[in-house]
Amino acid sequence: MIGVQAWKFRDTLPPPSVLRHVVDIHCHPTDSEIPVQSMDNLPIIIGAMSTLQADQGLVRDLATAFPDKVVPSFGYHPWFTHWIALVPYESKEEHYRCIFKDADEHPEAFQKLLLHLPEPVTLQTVLEDVRQNLMAFSSAMLGEVGIDRASRVPYNYVSSPGDLTPFTIPLEHQLAILEAQLDLATELGRNVSMHSVKSQQATVELLDRMTERHGERWMKISIDIHSCGFSPQTWLYIEKHHPNVFFSLSTAINSRSPNHRALIAACSSRRILVESDCHKIDDSMQRTWDMVLIVAEVKGWPVESSWEEVVDESQQGVVRRLENNWREFVQGNHVQTRKLSKRAASG
């Protein structure tokens, strides 16, 4: 008997022979201090995300030091896209006024925010940075990139991320930066870790648009919608029309809503991945394992208590199934089975 029911594993971890096959596809270890010992002892593989200019180099260093354990991901997160200028700008203030169209309605808030905002970087600089990092690691993914219609800009992200301004980053601006990064990932044949919050319809339209724009090249890469909060209906549309799209779940984000169980129940066994979304390397393994157990419970899959050859595919445990999904995600080269109709794309 290689598998046991998920509840028997609560608060315990399986042996290293099983953990070796677990992948935390999305986390942010460089947001905290990383003890070398923690990395040495880490039994799982992690997808380490970058989010802004300052952490691209940290992710690069981590992947260089631990090439067998770290899949580095380079990209610019939607929360910081106001720092990026799509076109040449006259001054810092002019750039940010252009992004925050309602700056005149909140003059004090705007001036206070402006003090903390960095000099903008051009999209061209950002893309060149991502390109160089992706080319330096053959396994590297694009991430974390995406769109977010829920987040408001804080006055100072570093010192007080909870102190929010009235401003949001326009979706068109976020999309322009996301699409430019996705075009680059397609050109270089790299997989993507994507953030999508309160943007289900915009994400569906984006995926439809990318399929139209890039055709077969788009099918060569895989997209992971990270900490996916989609309704089962939205997911099922994506699953049917976009064979290169997967999703991953974390207890950090998804356990806040019971929706994730409905999503797990509805999704194909082949499209689901797990993650921690953790900012501390020491939490990554346990949090990822917690989500493995939730997936096992909802799908009714056994949990491996040791690693043995499995002959009968229907007897496969949760770790083996998720590992297979990860392999298919990494391999890419998906087959487009149906044509997008204009109606489906807009409906």
Instruction: Catalog residues that contact Zn ion under the rule CB under 5 A.
Output: 144, 277
Least distance CB 143 / Zn ion (angstroms)? 8
Q: Which is nearer to Zn ion, 275 or 304 (CB)?
A: 275
- Pairing mode, strands 303-304 and 3-4: antiparallel
Q: Which is nearer to Zn ion, 122 or 255 (CB)?
A: 255
Least distance CB 227 / Zn ion (angstroms)? 7
CB count in 10 Å sphere of residue 322 = 26
Least distance CB 335 / Zn ion (angstroms)? 29
Q: Which is nearer to Zn ion, 144 or 323 (CB)?
A: 144
Least distance CB 51 / Zn ion (angstroms)? 7
Q: Which is nearer to Zn ion, 252 or 296 (CB)?
A: 252
Report the distance separating Cα 145 and Cα 244, nearest Å: 17
CB count in 10 Å sphere of residue 272 = 22
Least distance CB 124 / Zn ion (angstroms)? 25
Report the distance separating Cα 239 and Cα 256, nearest Å: 24
Report the distance separating Cα 316 and Cα 303, nearest Å: 9
Rounded to 5 degrees, what angle do the CA atoms 141, 145, 146 make?
135
Least distance CB 226 / Zn ion (angstroms)? 6
Eight-state DSSP code of residue 341: P
Q: Which is nearer to Zn ion, 55 or 144 (CB)?
A: 144
Residue 229 sits at φ, ψ, to 5 deg, of -110, 20
What residues pair up with 48 in beta bridges, in sequence order?
27, 72
Residue 324 sits at φ, ψ, to 5 deg, of -60, -40
Q: Which is nearer to Zn ion, 47 or 302 (CB)?
A: 47
Burial of residue 135, with CB atoms counted within 10 A of its CB: 0-12 exposed, 13-18 middle, 19 or more buried: exposed
Inter-residue contact 113 to 160 (CB < 8 Å)? no
Q: Which is nearer to Zn ion, 276 or 316 (CB)?
A: 276
Least distance CB 170 / Zn ion (angstroms)? 22
Q: Which is nearer to Zn ion, 129 or 144 (CB)?
A: 144
Q: Which ranges of 189-228 does DSSP label H, i.e. alpha helix?
A: 200-214, 216-220
Residue 138 sits at φ, ψ, to 5 deg, of -65, -25
Helix (H) or strand (E) holding 102: none
Least distance CB 152 / Zn ion (angstroms)? 18
Report the distance separating Cα 282 and Cα 39, nearest Å: 9
